[in-house]
């Protein structure tokens, strides 16, 4: 799932979402080298929520910049749709550059989403976050507490694997015909491949290649008119297709190949969609413990069902900005939420703080921590915050839900979305508005398709076409908005110490702090509820503040069950202060803003020496390392260090203009 991230680039701030392209460092295009198996264009459209509205995440499901972590469901199977091109609003028409500051005039500030307090009294300073996506590196922390690193590209030795030549011996045309045969997409019952250099070794490699790359097909050698052919055919009719991998997977090998995925400037779901296209498998055979941010370098563990390490390693020759390694065969897949958290390496460039200010800020982060707010990327980048949609769902105001998602708005949007919204406002014709969208899988496209199918009088069913997790994200965004607001109020009233009536967790159960055991707890133990029907509220003034806030939104805090079961909120508890672990930092001097300031896993694999810093330079950077548990936002830790509003609207006051 994708959240918006911000890059403060020398008075210029870049918004990143699934569809955007950073203007200052173009992402290298994935390319296919010879012999690489693919039948898809470079860019693969993800089934995750693409929208002008940033995708909100589930309340207890994120770590990182979303924040490295998001527990949205496993990658969904792609709908049977035609491939859609992204980028031009109409054929041959490019977007006009716009002033980014103008686009974001009506965006949200931290104040709009309840983010108002800091924990440390130190004086803030400015710095540039994510000037380069390589300035933000996320390493997953597995359930065993081990930080994932890509440090081994070798493939486990397996006698049953085909030789390396098997992956390159078939032409693109051969592969296309074989895939159509495998999937019963053509009328032929077999495919014949002529053996050009007729040797036993060559025939053996072709046999192995077909059986390895197209499970479910069998092969035989035939002689026709003096030429030899390898003939591929179905071994067991359509039954073979139901579970084709079982025909060729060694029984002694674990069913899942686990590997470490290193990726640059790509979120996890998009990355898995790319891998599945190149491997010609469905995305849902991949599993993972959490999704990672796009505008970053991320390293995480992935598992895939019955795809050999050899085939996966071959992708290293085909794809740029991806690297796969640390292969092993296991009996079980990975499960969402199994991770312990994420370790971050973050560079804040061109800092203005003195050494003393930096030390004060970092010591406070290390010893006290930061307020565990939901970050700005949870609430959207346009003038219509995602929590407003969530509130309308909870109010059963379905016409308002439709209007909020589809109406024209100010903010950073692609031209085709602007035209789609204008068409909707003018005609209220979903089919007509849908024609303006080259990308039909964004939330607007999904809703319009639903309205075309069910009509404007059945908005509930039309909205239901949007994948469930994405629909729930809107109401989770509303919960997050309430939680942020209440935590700010709690800190304003009672400060950074526990008080009687606060809540703490004993196991999974929330209990009240009583007067006589106040000394047994610290502020790091205190939790506050996300509103729902299965939580309790503090026994002090904040309880009434919750009630008043929901009442102002025409919601009853005592009745959070919805007439539609999916939208009933049970609630959850969240710690109000997070203290990062394994915190370290250094201030370095540099002259060239383009040079990397630390080595990545791939740099280390390639034997690159670490950067050497001069004692003085034109610029100073703060390099930070820290670990966070799941469901926390690294941007909020950085906010505490800089004392800087992380909202895009606030930062664009520094801007002149931003060109796409």
Residues 393 and 329: their CA atoms lie apart, in Å, by: 44
Give the start-end residues of each E strand in 266-310. Answer: 286-288, 297-305
Helix (H, G, I), strand (E, B) or coil at 628: strand
Between CA 437 and CA 44 the distance in angstroms is 17
Beta-bridged to residue 584, according to DSSP, are 625
Q: Which two tokens stand for residue 81?
A: 């749709």
Using alpha carbons, select from 600, 596, 601, 598 the residue that is nearest to residue 153.
601
Q: What is the DSSP letter of 650?
A: H
User: How many angstroms separate the CA atoms of 55 and 69, rounded?
Assistant: 13
Q: Measure the CA–CA gap between 129 and 638, rounded to whole angstroms.
A: 9
CA pair distance 558, 543, nearest whole angstrom = 12
Q: Where are the beta strands (DSSP E) in 184-241?
A: 190-194, 217-224, 227-234
Active site residues: 293
Which residue carries 């098997």 as its tokens?
166
Pairwise CA distance, residues 618 & 274, whole Å: 40
* Contacts for 645 with CB less than 8 Å, ≥ 6 apart: 109, 110, 639, 651
Task: Give me the sheet containing 572-575, strands edge to edge.
Answer: 509-512, 503-506, 526-530, 572-575
* Structure-token pair, residue 652: 């664009």
Angle at 139 between CA 136 and CA 144, to 5 degrees: 160
Q: Which two three-digit tokens encode residue 407?
A: 């109406």
Query: Cα 3 from chain centroid?
Result: 7
Cβ atoms 6, 13 nearer than 8 A: yes
CB of 19 closer than 8 Å to CB of 46:
no
| 225 backbone φψ class: left, alpha, beta (φ>0; ψ -120 to 50) | left
Gap between the Cα atoms of 575 and 632, Å rounded: 10
Q: Name residues whose C-beta falls within 8 Å of residue 491's C-beta, 6 or more positions apart in sequence.
A: 117, 119, 371, 576
Phi and psi for 312 in degrees, rounded to 5? -65, -45
Distance CA 652, CA 14 (A): 9
**Are the C-beta atoms of 46 and 18 separated by less than 8 Å?**
yes
Distance of CA 162 to the CA centre of its chain: 34
In angstroms, rounded to a whole number, what is the distance separating the alpha carbons of residues 546 and 575? Answer: 17
Selection from 243, 322, 388, 246 nearest residue 44 by Cα = 322
């Amino acid at each position: 799932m994708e959240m918006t991230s911000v890059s403060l680039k020398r008075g210029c701030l870049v918004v990143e979402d699934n569809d955007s392209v950073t203007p200052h460092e173009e992402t290298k295009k994935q390319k296919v080298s010879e012999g690489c198996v693919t039948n898809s264009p470079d860019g693969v459209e993800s089934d995750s929520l693409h929208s002008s509205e940033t995708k909100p995440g589930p309340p207890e499901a994120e770590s990182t910049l979303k924040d490295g972590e998001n527990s949205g469901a496993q990658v969904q199977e792609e709908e049977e749709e035609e491939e859609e091109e992204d980028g031009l609003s109409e054929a041959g028409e490019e977007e006009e550059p716009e002033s980014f500051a103008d686009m974001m005039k009506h965006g949200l500030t931290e104040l709009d989403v309840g983010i108002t307090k800091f924990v440390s009294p130190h004086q803030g300073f400015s710095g540039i976050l994510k000037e380069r996506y390589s300035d933000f590196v996320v390493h997953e922390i597995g359930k065993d507490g081990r930080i994932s690193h890509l440090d081994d590209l070798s493939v486990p030795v397996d006698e049953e694997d085909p030789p390396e030549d098997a992956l390159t011996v078939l032409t693109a045309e051969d592969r296309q015909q074989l895939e159509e045969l495998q999937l019963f997409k053509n009328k032929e019952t077999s495919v014949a491949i002529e053996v050009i250099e007729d040797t036993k070794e060559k025939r053996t490699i072709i046999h192995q290649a077909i059986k390895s790359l197209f499970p479910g097909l069998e092969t035989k050698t035939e002689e026709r008119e003096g030429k030899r052919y390898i003939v591929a055919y179905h071994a067991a009719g359509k039954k073979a297709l139901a579970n084709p991998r079982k025909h060729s997977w060694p029984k002694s090998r674990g069913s899942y190949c686990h590997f470490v995925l290193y990726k640059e400037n790509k979120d996890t779901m998009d990355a898995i969609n790319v891998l599945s296209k190149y491997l010609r498998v469905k995305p849902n055979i991949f599993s993972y413990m959490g999704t990672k941010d796009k505008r970053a370098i991320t390293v995480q563990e992935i598992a895939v069902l019955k795809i050999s390490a050899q085939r996966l390693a071959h992708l290293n020759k085909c794809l740029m900005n991806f690297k796969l390694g640390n292969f092993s065969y296991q009996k079980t897949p990975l499960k969402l939420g199994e991770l312990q958290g994420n370790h971050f390496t973050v560079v804040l460039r061109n800092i203005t703080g003195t050494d003393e200010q930096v030390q004060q800020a970092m010591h406070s982060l290390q010893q006290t921590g930061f307020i565990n707010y939901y970050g700005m990327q949870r609430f959207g980048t346009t003038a219509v915050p995602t929590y407003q949609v969530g509130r309308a769902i909870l109010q059963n105001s379905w016409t308002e839900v439709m209007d909020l998602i589809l109406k024209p708005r100010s903010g950073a949007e692609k031209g085709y979305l602007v035209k789609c919204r204008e068409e909707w406002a003018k005609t209220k014709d979903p089919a007509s508005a849908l024609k303006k969208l080259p990308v039909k899988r964004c939330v607007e496209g999904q809703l319009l398709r639903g309205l075309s199918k069910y009509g404007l009088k059945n908005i509930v069913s039309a909205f239901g076409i949007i994948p469930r997790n994405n629909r729930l994200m809107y109401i989770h965004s509303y919960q997050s908005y309430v939680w942020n607001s209440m935590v700010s109020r709690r800190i304003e009233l009672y400060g950074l110490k526990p008080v009687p009536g606060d809540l703490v967790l004993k196991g999974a159960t929330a209990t009240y702090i009583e007067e006589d055991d106040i000394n047994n707890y610290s502020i790091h133990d205190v939790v506050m509820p996300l509103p729902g029907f299965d939580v309790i509220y503090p026994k002090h003034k904040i309880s009434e503040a919750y009630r008043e806030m929901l009442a102002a939104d025409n919601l009853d805090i005592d009745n959070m069950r919805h007439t539609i079961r999916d939208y009933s909120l049970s609630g959850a508890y969240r710690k109000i202060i997070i203290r990062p672990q394994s915190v370290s930092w250094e201030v370095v001097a540099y002259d060239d803003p383009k040079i990397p300031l630390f080595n990545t896993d791939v740099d280390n694999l390639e034997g690159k020496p670490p950067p050497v810093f001069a004692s003085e330079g034109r610029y100073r950077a703060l390099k930070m390392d820290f670990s966070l548990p799941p469901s926390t936002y690294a941007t909020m830790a950085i906010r505490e260090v800089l004392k800087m509003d992380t909202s895009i609207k606030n930062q664009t006051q520094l801007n002149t203009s931003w060109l796409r």
